[in-house]
Chains A and B, each alone.
Chain A
């Protein structure tokens, strides 16, 4: 008789864990709710106005009892908090081997770029069993990337990158919603996530490629905007070389250090003076307003292709 679902599909590696915690919470809630309901019903019947039950020995203070129902919930809460916090932390740390996909939210659509050059709107194709890291930004208001079947949700902010990750466990099609109210057609800002078997996905990648890879586009932009004149491997007088930059620790002019991640590169392009590398003069002009969010992602992907820190001995991305 149920022709509608009561539980959402669980199609990611974190979904099962979140569900487990959810059921624990249901259990705790049922026990406490049950105790209260039972108490209310029992007392109301037994001690109704005209009942003959004895009222002798009624107390209005019972410290041990009150401490009991203060401390027991506290202990249970601490346990739930710890579990939830650990899971939350894991949700924010993508595995090392995660494949990246770039997401731009705008009123009212999701624009997605794969490093290989495939672009999609309101659809995200991913392979099953591979961790996917989403690097996201918005070009207008706040949106939120929500895939119920994966139990992930992350607000997508203008002027900033946020990330989340998932690993799909079941091929299929799943809802993609915008969960943060973003204006008139908020309810239409939805799409689907298509999870495919690995080889199917590779076929899809090869078959639906509209343009060259993001690295290649980024390389082109790198020349077009003239970045290459200062940031080349050979002449490092005006600007540092970007080879081996991504993921490395950069020492800044003010003495502090930062990790060169997506956020740092974006910031350096749009607001070069803010995080000046030690030993260089603030010569670089800002590129704010000149590049689209997608183009920024392409340049970042290009910078990534120039490799990570040599000490780590591993280069990211082909």
Chain B
């Protein structure tokens, strides 16, 4: 198979980074940031997800089509969330 070969070092580095980020999520949760707790938590989670997608799932080394598929599913998720929430956010009239 012509798939790209990622070295073990990269896998271990990414795995380590994920664990660090996970500890960071827990740590930050214990600091009161007001409404920003959720923002930070989601930002870290998204970053972790991107790490998994890019390295563990090899998207970084994949064809354009794979990129398109990944971004499309993300884009559609955003449509669902944003348009649904737009109703609830502007209800007060």
Contacts and interface: CB of A to CB of B under 8 A. Distances in A.
By size class, the interface of chain B is under 10
Contacts of B93: 92
Interface in A243-268: 258-259
Contacts, number: 3
Contacts of A258: 92
Interface residues of A, number: 3
B60 to A, nearest CB: 38
A259 B92 CA distance: 9
Interface of B: 92-93
B14 to A, nearest CB: 40
A92 B93 CA distance: 9
| Nearest 3 Cβ contacts at the A-B interface | A92-B93, A259-B92, A258-B92
A contact patch SS: strand
B51 to A, nearest CB: 36
A109 B92 CA distance: 29
Nearest to B93: A92
3 contacts: A92-B93, A258-B92, A259-B92
B88 to A, nearest CB: 13
B63 to A, nearest CB: 31
A92 B92 CA distance: 12
A258 B93 CA distance: 11
A150 B93 CA distance: 22
A266 to B, nearest CB: 15
Contacts of A92: 93
Nearest to A89: B93
